[in-house]
Structure formats: C-alpha cells, structure tokens
Amino acid sequence: QLQIGTRSLSVVSVMPCTAKKYEARRSEFANGNGIADVTHVITTQELARMIESAGIRFNDLDSSEYDDPLGTASGAGTLFGLSGGVTEAVVRYVHEKVEGKPFDSSLPVAETKLKGVRETTIKIGGK
C-alpha cells in the first residue's frame, strides 16, 4: 500500500503469548524471499517494563491523533493477538464450514497441570 520494500521494514508485534516469539522465528512464516513476516516479538509484560523503565507516564502525555498509516483492520484480527486466539479462530472457521452456522459461544477452556497451558474439547460434525 505504501510501496515500501520488505527489506526496508521491521515489523514488531506486541503479544500476550510467549509462543509468538517462537512462531516468528519459524521458516514457514517467512515470505517467498526468506524474509520473516514479523521481525521482532515482545510480550505485553516486556513492553510494560520498557515503558516503566523509560519513565513514560501516559497520564502526563499530551493528547494527539492516532497514527493510522494503513487504515483500520477488521475486529476479527483482534482475536489473533489473544492467548489461544489462533486456536479459537480455527475452531470457529471449521465449525462454520462443517455445521453451516457460526460457533456462537466462547471456547470452554480448563487449566492443565502445566502452567500457562489450557485445553478444551468441542464437538464438530458429531465428533
């Protein structure tokens, strides 16, 4: 849209999930030229620590207009940034394709013995 070459870009994603750091390094998430779609990933906790250590206090900043160079994306994209969001997006997509109707509730999740790992069981197509 802005006609900027991929080698001139650095894409930083701020995500709640540490798994995104690993995903960003995987070769299958690079474009055809071997350039990663996401250059750097930091967690929301890391960003909060950076802001705090830089002494930034949002309540003391002057108001300004939002910088929106590429326009506003769909609200559905918000789901991908949430922990477990990609899984939920896949479940919703498959459910609608198989059942012919939207998945109309949130995923029931339960904590497991592993810290930060959750699980869910759902039925799609009677299975």
What would the DSSP string read from start to end of 79-92? HHHSTTHHHHHHHH
What's the pLDDT at 76?
A: 63
Residue 66 and residue 80 share a domain = no
Residue 92 and residue 59 share a domain = no
Q: Find the domain containing 91 and state its range.
A: 74-127
Structure tokens given for 26: 């995987």
Residue 80 and residue 66 share a domain = no
Residue 120 and residue 85 share a domain = yes
pLDDT digits over 76-95, tens only?
667 766 777 778 888 888 88
What's the pLDDT at 112?
A: 78
Reported as type and span, the H/E element at residue 47 is helix 44-53
Residue 8 and residue 56 share a domain = yes
Share of the chain above pLDDT 70, in %: 91
Pick the more confident residue, 1 or 122: 122
Residue 63 and residue 5 share a domain = yes
The answer, yes or no, to whether residue 22 has pLDDT greater than 80, is yes
The answer, yes or no, to whether residue 111 has pLDDT greater than 90, is no
CATH number at residue 49: 3.40.50.1780
Planar angle of CA 6, 70, 57, nearest 5 degrees: 100
Residue 45 and residue 28 share a domain = yes
Number of compact structural domains in the chain: 2
The answer, yes or no, to whether residue 54 has pLDDT greater than 90, is yes
Determine how β-strand 110-111 pairs with β-strand 118-119. antiparallel
What's the pLDDT at 57?
A: 94
